[in-house]
Structure 1
Amino acid sequence: MNFNIRQLEALYWAGSLGSFQAAANRLHTTQSAISKRIAELETALGKQLFDRTRRNAQLTPAGERVSNIASQMLSMSSQLLEEGDDPQEYQAIFRLAATESTALTWLPEFTKRIAVEFPTLRLEVEIHEGGVLLEQLNKGRYDLALLPGPMWGRIYEALPMKTLERAWMANPTLKIPKKNITVEELSKYPIGAQYSDTIHARLQSAWFTRAGHPLRKVVQAHSLSVLGQLTLAGVTVAQLPVGVFSEALKKKKLVKLAVTPELPDVQYFAVYRRSTAHHLAPKVAALAQSCCDFER
């Protein structure tokens, strides 16, 4: 009986992601290569591992058992790779994901540190909002995600990082009182928010609802940068990251508003899946902890 790690990877990810194509994307290969590896593994084991009558990649009972064993073997394989522990030898692809707030502050410095620590590592970076990041992390698209939380389950390892300070801001020409503003008074202005499926938009909407003043005038933006520009132009009042818009605050292009009660800040985490995690995920997550700085 002969089988190899690539065949076990193909089985595990096709079963976990429910698609041969998704597994191919995760492993940077083709769908036909995934099919071939799984067929070879089925021949070696003498068992059918996937139900070919289903549209998605669904494991058979035998496939479930083998996938569980494969998960353990892949984890041990990662541990063996760590035994070498020579950063110069890491030539794998590492997929990192982050929110826009991270991208606009400390992500550039973080990627430089990764390049220094692991000079041969091929780093791929994607920027999305937190909800999308968690969904794609769960599907195995990323090796590590830097996102606000907590909102995950036991399948994840989450290293706490710093809290992102946010504040209500407005163009000073709107002449909104800077102190002791109630939620009711704030709700009379057009409120800027990122699309409703983002983490911060959900928190903001729930905050207004709990205060008894559901949002009526909402201006939605597809990105933090666009939301900031709308606020600078006086179109909206928005809760924005202080570090990202510190220059506009210094130049008095924006002013902070003291709203009662305060909308709490959100802590960020470096998150990766515990099962079959990239062997560098714990090291890169720890590096993220030391680099995280939303004031840059």
Structure 2
Amino acid sequence: MQIKSLRIFDAVASTGSFGAAAQRLHTVQSNVTAHIQKLEDELQVQLIERSSSPVHLTPAGHTLLPHAQRLLQTHDQACALFAGSALPTGCLRIGAMESTAALRLPPVLAQLYQTQPHMDLQLRTGPTGSLLEDLQRGLLDCAFVAGQPPQPRWWGQQVFQEELVLVSPTPLPGLPSPEVLLRTPFLAFRQGCSYRQRIELLLASQGITSARIMEMGTLDAILGCVAAGMGFALMPRALMHTQQARFGIHCTPLPEPLRSQIGVVDTWLVAPQPQGWSPQLRALVQQLGMEGAAVTMVATAVTPM
């Protein structure tokens, strides 16, 4: 059944006239007649009793009418949702690095929820590599990851910038010597984490090729173990400012040129190209103030190979 046919049927039922229905829908009466006949042929019933004036519904017509009205209402609601004339509903599946989820996203998501109260938010944390895999598989609508999207068919926009600092259980006068770095473990997230890759680059810059990195599942586990004297970590400075008092840890900036080379990390929001966005995802992009960038990317989108 076509939506147009159901809308014409509803108009005939409410006006009691083929001609009045045609006027309401700005069409010709022959078009109304054709759509009603098409519905009757498809359902194999008579819907309209045409022998009276005004015309009226048959029992079959009365049965169809509430179904038609519900379908029309659902259709109109969906159109309004994607046209932006209705508040977004449904779930937005967001992926983020754990540090980004802890530091940057709470105020963004809280404000988004205040402006879009009918939306459901689902946040999944993980290392950049895993988040990109989930995005590729369609398990996420978007992801906050370290660096630009690795595929041209994805849309991406830089949203935050982090400075990484060395996290230790006691104050340090500067970067530890290669001997200290060699015998002291680093604590990090699992493979695929961009900060873990920066640890390897830091150690390589000091001539250490066999990095000893202990894998931890959560941010609290990493910082708790650092505080207990188990090793070092490499984390965003802004995040550590919120955690120093809680864990009793200390932060040491990376010296130049290491800071410029490996200590500055751009966080990007990565998603499918904008023509495939849901209203919920578009609301998040607007909340982040990137609507103009998204519109530009629609015009210059790369066609998938």
Q: Distance in 1 between matches of 2:253 and 2:95?
A: 33
What CA deviation, in whole Å up to 9, does each residue of 1:116-162 have, x standing for no partner? 22221222222222211111011111112122212421111112111
For residue 94 of structure 1, what is the amino acid of its counterpart?
L
Deviation (angstroms), 1:232:
0.9
Q: How many residues align?
A: 211
Residues 78-89 of structure 1 correspond to what in structure 2 (within 5 A)?
A: 81-87=81-87
Residues 254-265 of structure 1 correspond to what in structure 2 (within 5 A)?
A: 254-260=249-255, 261-262=258-259, 263-265=262-264
For residue 285 of structure 2, what is the amino acid of its counterpart?
A
Q: Which secondary structure state, in structure 2, belongs to the residue aligned with residue 160 of structure 1?
A: strand
Deviation (angstroms), 1:210:
4.6
* Uncovered stretches (5+) of structure 2, i.e. residues with no partner: 4-77, 291-305
Deviation (angstroms), 1:285:
2.2
1:104 is matched with: 102
Matched, 1:232 2:227: yes
Q: Distance in 2 between matches of 1:257 and 1:108?
A: 26
2:186 corresponds, among 188, 191, 197, to: 191
Distance 1:161 1:79, change over 3 A: farther
CA contact (8 A) 1:103 1:127 kept: yes
TM-score for both structures, normalised by structure 2: 0.60
Deviation (angstroms), 1:195:
1.9
The alignment yields a C-alpha RMSD, in angstroms, of 2.9
Q: Which secondary structure state, in structure 2, belongs to the residue aligned with residue 282 of structure 1?
A: helix
Matched, 1:171 2:166: no
Distance 1:180 1:99, change over 3 A: closer
Q: Distance in 1 between matches of 2:192 and 2:177?
A: 25
What CA deviation, in whole Å up to 9, does each residue of 1:195-251 have, x standing for no partner? 233222123213323542124433221222211111111111111222333245358
Query: How many percent identity over aligned positions?
Result: 17
Most deviating of 217-226 and 257-266 = 257-266
2:277 is matched with: 277
* Uncovered stretches (5+) of structure 1, i.e. residues with no partner: 4-77, 291-296
Residues 95-174 of structure 1 correspond to what in structure 2 (within 5 A)?
A: 95-172=93-170
Larger Rg: 2
2:288 is matched with: 288
Q: Distance in 2 between matches of 1:158 and 1:105?
A: 20
Deviation (angstroms), 1:252:
8.8
Distance 1:272 1:252, change over 3 A: closer
* Structure with bigger RCO (C-alpha 8 Å, 6+ apart): 1
